[in-house]
Structure 1
């Protein structure tokens, strides 16, 4: 580039170019680097997510040594670096926890192990239910799906996470199972009353 005043244009390409892409764990395989590489960036907008991921990729990320104070609630609940607001306040206000702007926020997905565990629990509970309760649960699933589609169309900021949805489904299944057990106890009571009536009829005859 010329040193002439006002001449900021350059026609030639840059002189030094990397032949291979930078890899932050090529010569550094300690526990801290592995932990930083496994960080799942969430509760932030797309732009802030790109910034934090760039820091992780090029080894510029500096994790917190102790929790920071939230700018909203004033409690030391901020456990992620470069975030200025805690997750709870960010969800309540529907804003990015880094730039504090009301943008579309990226929600964290549950870990694969936890997700598989919840899915297996759902399947086991669903198989243990009788046909009538199973149909009730399937109708409940359809209703939840329609509500979620309506929220997406309305672009509601107070949308539930996948983890919250699974917990809600587990609670619904457990309540159906409890109702089923109560129905079985009631059926036993009815059967015992019918047997007693039959015995009374036989005594009369």
Structure 2
């Protein structure tokens, strides 16, 4: 972008573009990284949750080493970084534990759509089973709306796949060193 006044539009694309998304556990397989990736941020408003999730995603989150003093009850009860209220005070006052602003009800926890349940269920599956289930879902409902009937069908498919014996991979011995094919004449 030019530094001249009034030139606020860019005419060319970004020069350096990332080919893949940043992965915070690509070269760091420590227990701290695993713990942070599995950390569930609760008791805060949506904006603060997004901020803390960003810090975790890009390795900027620094967890507390010792409990901190709560602004509300003035006890050392804060166990999560970037919070100013302990969870007890935040729930009692119905405010965000990070920014201390009024929070309605926790919508993400009270409302769970079937798609979220399905994504959580598919996350722990091997790639082969995941793709099989996704093909079946796309065949039954192309619009992406999940109903409880479809979820029950997916659970049945999972049970059937677990009972299915794929056998040993002895069929691939054809590529081994077999002397019958290489006879010297």
Give the match for residue 32 of structure 1: 32
Give the structure with the larger helix fraction: 1
Instruction: Give 2:80's aligned residue.
Output: 80
Unaligned segments of structure 2, at least 5 residues? 110-185
CA offsets 1:93-117 (integer angstroms, 9 cap, x no match): 01110111111354897xxxxxxxx
Q: Residue 77 of structure 1: SS of its match in structure 2?
A: strand
State TM-score, norm by structure 2. Answer: 0.55
Give the match for residue 48 of structure 2: 48
Question: Match for residue 112 of structure 1?
Answer: none
Give the match for residue 65 of structure 1. Answer: 65
Equivalence for 1:16: 16
Question: Structure 1-normalised TM-score?
Answer: 0.50
Contact 1:96 1:102 in 2 (8 A): yes
Aligned-residue Cα RMSD (Å) equals: 1.8
Change in 2 beyond 3 A, CA 1:8/1:107: closer
Is contact 1:63-1:81 (8 Å) kept? yes
Distance 1:70 1:44 in 2: 15
Structure with larger Rg: 1
Question: Aligned-pair distance for 1:7?
Answer: 2.5
CA distance in 2, matches of 1:49, 1:10: 32
Bigger relative contact order (CA 8 A; separation at least 6): 1
Change (3 A) 1:97 1:37: same
State the shift of 1:9 in Å: 2.4
Partner-residue secondary structure (3-state), 1:39 = coil
Number of residue pairs the alignment of both structures matches: 109
